[in-house]
Amino acid sequence: MTLDYERDPRAIYAQSFATIEAEARLDALPAEMRPLAIRLIHACGMVDVVEDLRFSDGAVAAGRAALQRGATGDAGDRAAPVAGSAGMADDHGRPPCTILCDAEMVGRGIIARALPDGVRTRVTLNDTAVPELARTLSTTRSAAAVELWRDDLAGAIVAIGNAPTALFHLLERLEAGWPRPALILGFPVGFVGAAESKQALAELPHGVPYVTLLGRRGGSAMAAAAVNALTLGLGGDGT
């Protein structure tokens, strides 16, 4: 038996994006947000997520500027970043951007070859210190893992696609005076705390650029898609 379906990956990709552009209300968004929204829709299959998107002015520009801080080498010399490795400083002595992820699935979904040279992803959820931190703080492992972000947080991109408690904990630490990341991509998913944590991200005066999706929807694929959208046109292999 031979089923009739599209087999050409380029055609599938083009048709998917054409469908999104035809069905989603992208004209309601600022021009800089539309490529990011398209990739969020592509990750979840729901064009109506546009209605629940919330973002601060200049959020995409802030994220792209942070990524470009890692562009320390020529594209031909680019190697995939290694989680946990230290990147080279740029010409101004600033360390390259770190992408802090709350779950391994978020980190795995980020297209490493599209990242500027020196940019790395970091996931601390499975660090050996996390279980004891969670017990000490009387919280979840996901929230405790955020405690290990502090040294990398200044100028970082935070991508949360799983645990509402991670986003809540980050907001608490920012209120307590922790270093400010360049951008928070808040897409925790679920029935307990997801909507509330994202509402807090959108409403609290933390002073950090953000993109989030109100309500229960979200997930690791959407958080990774948001990061991948930021890499478009930065000289890597992003598409």
Q: Which residues are catalytic?
A: 42
What does each C-alpha distance from 237 to 16, 104, 114, 192 come to in angstroms? 19, 22, 4, 37
Q: CA 67 to CA 157: how far, in whole Å?
A: 8
Give CA 76 to chain center in angstroms. Answer: 25
* Among the listed residues 158, 166, 162, the one whose alpha carbon sits nearest the alpha carbon of residue 227: 158
Residue 27 CB burial class (10 angstroms; 0-12, 13-18, ≥19): exposed
User: Which stretches of 83-234 are assigned E, i.e. beta strand?
Assistant: 98-101, 120-123, 157-160, 183-186, 210-213
Q: Which two tokens stand for residue 20?
A: 């999104």
Helix 59-68 and helix 220-230, axial crossing angle in degrees, nearest 10 = 70
Residue 67 near residue 234 (C-beta atoms within 8 A) = yes
Determine the Cα–Cα distance for residues 187 and 17; give it in Å rounded to an integer: 21
